[in-house]
Amino acid sequence: MQIYDVTVPVHPRMPIYPGDPPVVFEPRLQISKGDPANVSYCGMGTHTGTHIDAPFHFIENGRKLHEIPLNLLVGRARVVEVTARKIDVETLSRLDLGEHIRVLFKTRNSQLWQQETFNPDYVFITPEAAAKLVADGIKLVGIDYLSVEEYGSKTFPTHVELLSNGVVILEGLDLRAVDAGDYELICLPLKLMDSDGAPARVILRG
């Protein structure tokens, strides 16, 4: 069984969504300076790199990160490859999601991880497509860049549609080495209490 690490490495030069906190790594203890161990400070936003959006991210009384059941984050998932510039209802009509409740969209976004600056021209999911995913019984939606939302949105309808219906959003995947198909998803976000989201280590087994 092959294991695919679809997690984006976290470092201070990585792209972050505009307005999010920067990534900071600072040594606080260093053996080279006479300290008994190396210890660093790490600072970042809860939506850095590969991360989970909990409903609380956009829904005031929504489920918080630590309240998301692990059985939504671990299990069979289908990776589907999309060449369109946006994922709309028409795009979904051409895809076979089978009986899966977890879908990961592989798009041209994955190539954007080669850039160190944020690129606003990414593939996103339309609100209408989000509503169809909800209607089809999808419980987890993953995409290979920092947002499922069209860049520049002020009301975030795609996020609201998914999160208000209890759908977990998994953003920031790197699917360059993964072919379309069925896999076992293992997604383990940091267990941050009362949080709106958290970075996660995500692997696929297939």
**With contact defined as beta carbons under 8 Å apart, do 165 and 139 qualify?**
no
Distance separating alpha carbons of residues 96 and 36, to the nearest angstrom: 56
Nearest CA-CA partner of 66 in 181, 197, 160: 197
Nearest CA-CA partner of 47 in 39, 38, 56, 35: 56
Answer yes or no: 57 catalytic: yes
Distance separating alpha carbons of residues 191 and 186, to the nearest angstrom: 15
Catalytic residue, candidates 11, 47, 51, 57 = 57
Distance separating alpha carbons of residues 66 and 102, to the nearest angstrom: 19
Residues designated catalytic = 57
